[in-house]
């Protein structure tokens, strides 16, 4: 595949798949772009949000536009391996062979969507971990390669125990999926009605096979122009308390390359590091990471060839910061000054640094200064 062919395929992917999805799903541009990145890089995407926010509809529509087969399943604490991977083939079992009948099941899907992912139980956990990480299905002596272009998982909560954290870790990128703002609700209603009437497949000419060929060229992207900036950013995120293992740091290079490739480039730019906004483990880390990534991108030269998400406005929300300070103040009143309160206040103060100058920033800065005084005040001081 020549550079011109790669650029042409990237344009077709945007024109025939991503752009129509953005028109159909109002307010979901970020999620759709991340699905595109994950698909191009053959990495997994975790969607965090409540029911009714179009998570499964987005995945199904993406698969439809590339004429791909989707496997989706709502996991429960009682889900068994047969429900995901298929039952034993009865005819072969009579002959003494333990062979799985995978027709229409996860091992044959182009795109896999696992809803309520974090309900996974120990019976399916090992098989899922292998499928997600190595793209292999193994049962007894039976081993099969899984052709899935990418896996999407969803949940309305984040993992609490170690076993589920290991599963969550297999999803390299994470994104929040919530209700659209009230001022976009009218557009949602109109676009949703159009989606009911129109066949999403009608204008799509890309196939799953085309995208498998496209995925092969991820390793051909030149990352040397961003190597030093990427290393510096990973170290900053680690110093800020983000748990980015060496394995994740290596794999994240694939999504950086995918950002370049989807822009028709075979060399990465610093602006492609925008994807690192989506490496959080806990919800309270989201704005902190966005601030650190924004600082790394601020000095980079912008270009029309950059990914559109690289220029998204990610400034902290003053109302969110104010609510955070309310919680710190309530904690101090209830428990007194402790390490947890100081850490939370420090995190809020760091996010405040990235807020645009103005009355809101000045007011919040005064509150931060006042709370630091309370934390520094000796416990026996009235």
Q: E-assigned strands of 250-366?
A: none
- How far is it, in rounded angstroms, from Cα 14 to Cα 334? 52
- How far is it, in rounded angstroms, from Cα 268 to Cα 196? 39
- How far is it, in rounded angstroms, from Cα 253 to Cα 261? 12
DSSP 267: B
Mean pLDDT by 10 residues, the chain (382 residues): 75 90 89 96 95 87 87 94 86 69 92 94 90 89 90 93 90 90 73 66 74 91 96 93 92 96 94 96 86 85 86 71 86 82 79 73 90 76 48
Confirm if 84 and 127 have CB atoms less than 8 A apart.
yes
- Provide the pLDDT for residue 301: 84
CA angle at residue 98 from 95 to 103, to 5 degrees?
105
- Provide the pLDDT for residue 184: 72
Confirm if 209 and 9 have CB atoms less than 8 A apart.
no
Tokens of 355: 């807020």
- Provide the pLDDT for residue 200: 52
CA angle at residue 253 from 252 to 255, to 5 degrees?
70
Cβ-in-10-Å burial (0-12, 13-18, 19+) of 195 comes to: middle
- How far is it, in rounded angstroms, from Cα 151 to Cα 366? 46
- Provide the pLDDT for residue 198: 67
Query: In the chain, where does the domain assigned CATH 3.40.50.300 lie?
Result: 25-208
- Provide the pLDDT for residue 382: 47
Domain 25-208: which topology? Rossmann fold (3.40.50)
Confirm if 70 and 113 have CB atoms less than 8 A apart.
yes
Alpha helices in the chain (DSSP H): 3-13, 19-24, 29-41, 55-65, 81-85, 90-94, 122-134, 162-169, 185-197, 208-215, 227-239, 246-262, 286-298, 318-335, 339-352, 359-376
Backbone angles phi, psi at 42, to 5 degrees: 55, 45
- Provide the pLDDT for residue 318: 79
Confirm if 49 and 178 have CB atoms less than 8 A apart.
yes
């Amino acid at each position: 595949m020549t550079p011109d062919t790669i650029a042409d395929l990237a344009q077709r992917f945007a024109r025939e798949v991503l752009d129509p999805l953005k028109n159909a799903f109002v307010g979901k541009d970020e999620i759709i772009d991340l699905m595109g990145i994950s698909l191009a890089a053959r990495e997994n995407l975790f969607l965090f949000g409540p029911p009714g926010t179009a998570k499964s509809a987005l995945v199904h529509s993406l698969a439809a536009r590339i004429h791909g087969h989707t496997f989706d399943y709502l996991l429960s604490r009682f889900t068994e391996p047969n429900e995901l991977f298929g039952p034993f083939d009865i005819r072969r079992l009579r002959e003494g062979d333990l062979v799985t009948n995978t027709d229409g099941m996860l091992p044959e899907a182009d795109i896999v969507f696992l809803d309520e992912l974090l309900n996974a139980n120990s019976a399916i956990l090992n098989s899922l971990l292998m499928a997600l990480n190595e793209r292999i299905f193994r049962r007894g002596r039976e081993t099969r390669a899984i052709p899935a272009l990418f896996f999407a998982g969803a949940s309305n909560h984040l993992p609490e125990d170690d076993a589920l954290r290991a599963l969550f870790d297999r999803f390299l990128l994470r994104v929040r999926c919530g209700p659209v703002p009230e001022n976009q609700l009218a557009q949602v209603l109109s676009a949703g009605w159009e989606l009911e009437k129109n066949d999403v497949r009608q204008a799509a000419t890309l196939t799953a096979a085309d995208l498998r060929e496209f995925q092969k060229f991820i390793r051909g992207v030149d990352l040397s122009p961003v190597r030093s900036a990427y290393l510096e950013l990973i170290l900053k995120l680690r110093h800020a308390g983000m748990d980015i293992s060496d394995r994740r740091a290596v794999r994240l290079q694939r999504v950086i390359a995918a950002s370049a490739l989807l822009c028709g480039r075979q060399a990465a730019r610093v602006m492609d590091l925008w994807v690192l906004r989506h490496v959080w483990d806990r919800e309270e880390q989201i704005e902190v990471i966005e601030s650190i990534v924004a600082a790394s991108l601020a000095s980079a030269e912008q270009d029309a060839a950059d990914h559109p998400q690289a220029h998204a406005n990610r400034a902290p929300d003053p109302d969110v910061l104010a609510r955070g300070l309310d919680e710190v103040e309530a904690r101090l009143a209830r428990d007194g000054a402790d390490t947890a309160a100081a850490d939370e206040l420090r995190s809020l103060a760091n996010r405040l640094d990235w807020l645009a100058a103005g009355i809101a920033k000045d007011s919040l800065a005064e509150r931060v200064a006042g709370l630091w005084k309370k934390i520094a005040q000796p416990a026996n001081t009235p």
